[in-house]
A and B are shown apart, each in its own frame.
Chain A
């Protein structure tokens, strides 16, 4: 297990950027830089991180950063990696994309790059909606959540993007959370040591979009894991295992009640009203479904297929 002491003091994402207070993407970028200790290249599609960088001619990134169109990050990273290889440069190419740029508009390019087993690391920081454009629902928004395009709560379940990528049988897939930075660092380092396509899906609680005070960001990220709403795992060469805090939570009785997580966020406030009991139950069922899948996989020795 990585400890804080082992992380470089050097910063690769400099202060002075334009993120909202308590932004999980900014924390994630800091930890990513420390995990790789520089020498990497970022590819960033449209999203919060476009804006977080601030305005030309300034940049907070000490890694070279290629901004690219919304749907294009996995394919641009593929071309960039090919060029670097031709130049004999062994720098990790890291896509840093939001959930919209990953599970919705970028899914086709992501699937193509995964199928080709491109030697890139793709990190999806998942703040569970199009937060940058003003909190519209995405394919990764959980059922029941308020967004500006789901004013009375989202009616559909979320996509399980990490499992979609795992279905490409790439060498490494993991989920992580900014609330467990050392676990994330460890996964980034492991991914960087593997050749081929690597995918990390990073849970990123957004104070602005989820309606909670910025100071609560890490706390809420932890509640997501402790209640089982977000599951930490790895799929290495097709073998699934729970990681970190989630290892102890397969038994539902060990998980905190989902309401403990929901009541911290304005986006779920309506779910806790008696008239929305049905929506709440549906969300709980989605959470249980995800754990049932985990259970089934673990029962066959972790083999996802």
Chain B
């Protein structure tokens, strides 16, 4: 184990190198670019034995990853925002084809108006694509998550692609100390990929992705759901096992911070969990029992873990960095759905916050908790815009 000071993006690139990815296909977009720049450097210096395909678009980046994974290689790409939207057709293709590709999404808001700053609308736009969606809080977790992601994706009970989300700039460009595992440790945790019997092989010809008539199509989709259900278990097993190899794990599908005796919980994804935790610590000094529930996965949605985490809580604040105009908060809706069948469920209040990179501080999270307490007294949840000018 060595300690390095890395940005979130550098940590992802190092994770890709440690995972011995074989084919990388990528197209530049801010704030993702420094990931693939670093990988290009690794490949150029021979530190990573991979083919780097400098494609002409994100659509082609994912298509090349699909070809590579179908051909038996461990494939990686990274993108953000418009790039992910442009790629979307192939995002659905990758999961439908059941290919264990890993993609880093450096979360960035969607234009217009142009904005390069962080929110989560890009990743949530691909919510129903059939990808496992994981969310990192720190550079350390982003690196570990890339390595874990291949273990999950390549598991024969899963065979679904994985998105590793990290917040644009807030995480991608912020430097922090990162413990870097030795290559041998990662090699033992994540053995070299061996082509499975159903991968393209000229000596065993098969056709892939032919037309499925109405009498067979549904079963292909059912199998994706079954694989997601397996993934929920395997994500937890892999994270726990990583703990034995690297000395740290993250709680599996969700991280519970000071939840055991909490009366109020803050539910969110991404790097601002750090700010929420700081707020919880401060509020606890004032006698308010606040906990933070950080979803590490949104697909599969960790409904059971969420039910366990909110046990005993009177109210939950869902802080959503994305917008579904007309709903307006998908994350809040999903938390509500997960808790609906509980006889005793907390009051749930949704907050749309931090869109387009608007800063949300620990003080703001304290305000979120105050607002939720007020709603609790009034007995009325709902969804509000936080920090709207």
Residues of A participating in the B interface, judged by any CB pair closer than 8 Å: 39-41, 43, 50-51, 53-57, 59, 61-69, 71-87, 89, 91, 108-109, 111-112, 115-116
Q: Is B254 an interface residue (CB 8 A)?
A: no
A53 to B93 CA separation, bound complex (whole angstroms)? 19
Contact of B64 among A39, A41, A66, A78 (CB under 8 A): A78
- Contact yes or no, A72 B53, CB < 8 A: no
- Contact yes or no, A72 B63, CB < 8 A: yes
Q: A55-B211, A67-B209, A75-B64 are in contact. Are A87 and B71 (CB under 8 A)?
A: yes
A79 to B97 CA separation, bound complex (whole angstroms)? 15
CB-CB under 8 A from A67, the residues of chain B are: 207-210
- Contact yes or no, B210 A59, CB < 8 A: yes
Other A-B contacts than A56-B211, A64-B206, A65-B210, 13 sampled, CB-CB below 8 A, are A63-B205, A65-B207, A68-B63, A68-B93, A75-B63, A79-B69, A82-B22, A82-B64, A82-B71, A83-B72, A86-B72, A87-B73, A116-B54
In the complex, 9 of the A-B residue pairs with CB atoms within 8 angstroms, ordered by the A residue number, are A55-B213, A59-B207, A68-B66, A69-B90, A72-B59, A78-B60, A79-B67, A83-B71, A83-B72
A72 to B63 CA separation, bound complex (whole angstroms)? 6
Q: Is B85 an interface residue (CB 8 A)?
A: no
- Contact yes or no, A53 B71, CB < 8 A: no
Q: A54-B210, A67-B210, A79-B23 are in contact. Are A61 and B205 (CB under 8 A)?
A: yes
Contact of A77 among B67, B73, B209, B212 (CB under 8 A): B67
A63 to B203 CA separation, bound complex (whole angstroms)? 9
Q: Is B29 an interface residue (CB 8 A)?
A: no
Q: Is B160 an interface residue (CB 8 A)?
A: no
CB-CB under 8 A from B54, the residues of chain A are: 116
CB-CB under 8 A from B25, the residues of chain A are: 75, 78-79
Contact of B68 among A55, A61, A62, A82 (CB under 8 A): A82
A76 to B144 CA separation, bound complex (whole angstroms)? 28
Contact of A79 among B59, B66, B204 (CB under 8 A): B66
- Contact yes or no, B207 A61, CB < 8 A: yes
Q: Is B44 an interface residue (CB 8 A)?
A: no
A111 to B202 CA separation, bound complex (whole angstroms)? 27
Chain B residues 46 to 67 lying within 8 A of chain A, measured CB to CB, are 51, 53-57, 59-61, 63-67
Chain A: minimal CB distance from B375 (Å): 46
- Contact yes or no, B64 A51, CB < 8 A: no
Chain B: minimal CB distance from A147 (Å): 24
CB-CB under 8 A from A55, the residues of chain B are: 210-213
- Contact yes or no, B210 A83, CB < 8 A: no
A63 to B204 CA separation, bound complex (whole angstroms)? 9
Chain A: minimal CB distance from B325 (Å): 28
- Contact yes or no, A116 B53, CB < 8 A: yes
Q: A66-B200, A79-B53 are in contact. Are A108 and B60 (CB under 8 A)?
A: yes
Q: Is B191 an interface residue (CB 8 A)?
A: no
Q: A79-B66, A82-B53, A112-B55 are in contact. Are A72 and B90 (CB under 8 A)?
A: yes
Residue in chain A with minimal CB distance to B89:
A69
A61 to B210 CA separation, bound complex (whole angstroms)? 11
Chain B: minimal CB distance from A255 (Å): 38
Report whether over half of chain A's contact residues are helix, strand or loop; otherwise say mixed: mixed
Residue in chain A with minimal CB distance to B61:
A75
- Contact yes or no, B67 A83, CB < 8 A: yes
Chain B residues 337 to 364 lying within 8 A of chain A, measured CB to CB, are none
CB-CB under 8 A from B379, the residues of chain A are: none
- Contact yes or no, B93 A83, CB < 8 A: no
0/1 string, B204-225, CB within 8 A of A gives 1:
1111111111001000000000
Q: Which 4 A-B pairs have the closest CB atoms?
A: A83-B71, A79-B67, A112-B56, A79-B64
- Contact yes or no, A79 B63, CB < 8 A: yes
- Contact yes or no, A65 B211, CB < 8 A: no
Residues of B participating in the A interface, judged by any CB pair closer than 8 Å: 22-23, 25, 51, 53-57, 59-61, 63-73, 75, 89-90, 93, 195, 200-202, 204-213, 216
Chain A: minimal CB distance from B61 (Å): 8
- Contact yes or no, A56 B201, CB < 8 A: no
Give the most central of B65, B71, B195: most A CB within 10 Å: B71
- Contact yes or no, B63 A64, CB < 8 A: no
- Contact yes or no, B70 A85, CB < 8 A: no
Chain A: minimal CB distance from B50 (Å): 8
- Contact yes or no, B70 A83, CB < 8 A: yes
Chain A: minimal CB distance from B106 (Å): 21
Chain B: minimal CB distance from A90 (Å): 9
A76 to B97 CA separation, bound complex (whole angstroms)? 13
Residue in chain A with minimal CB distance to B208:
A66
Chain B: minimal CB distance from A211 (Å): 26
- Contact yes or no, A91 B210, CB < 8 A: no
Residue in chain B with minimal CB distance to A61:
B207
- Contact yes or no, B93 A79, CB < 8 A: no
CB-CB under 8 A from A89, the residues of chain B are: 202
A112 to B58 CA separation, bound complex (whole angstroms)? 12
- Contact yes or no, A112 B71, CB < 8 A: no
- Contact yes or no, A86 B67, CB < 8 A: no
- Contact yes or no, B66 A76, CB < 8 A: yes
Contact of B202 among A63, A75, A116 (CB under 8 A): A63
Chain B: minimal CB distance from A47 (Å): 12
Q: A41-B200, A64-B205, A86-B22 are in contact. Are A78 and B67 (CB under 8 A)?
A: yes
Q: A83-B72, A108-B56, A112-B56 are in contact. Are A75 and B67 (CB under 8 A)?
A: yes
Give the most central of B22, B60, B212: most A CB within 10 Å: B60
Contact of A109 among B63, B68, B69, B89 (CB under 8 A): B63
Chain B: minimal CB distance from A275 (Å): 43
CB-CB under 8 A from B201, the residues of chain A are: 64
A95 to B129 CA separation, bound complex (whole angstroms)? 26
- Contact yes or no, B200 A72, CB < 8 A: no
Contact of B208 among A65, A91, A112 (CB under 8 A): A65
Contact of B51 among A56, A57, A62, A86 (CB under 8 A): A86
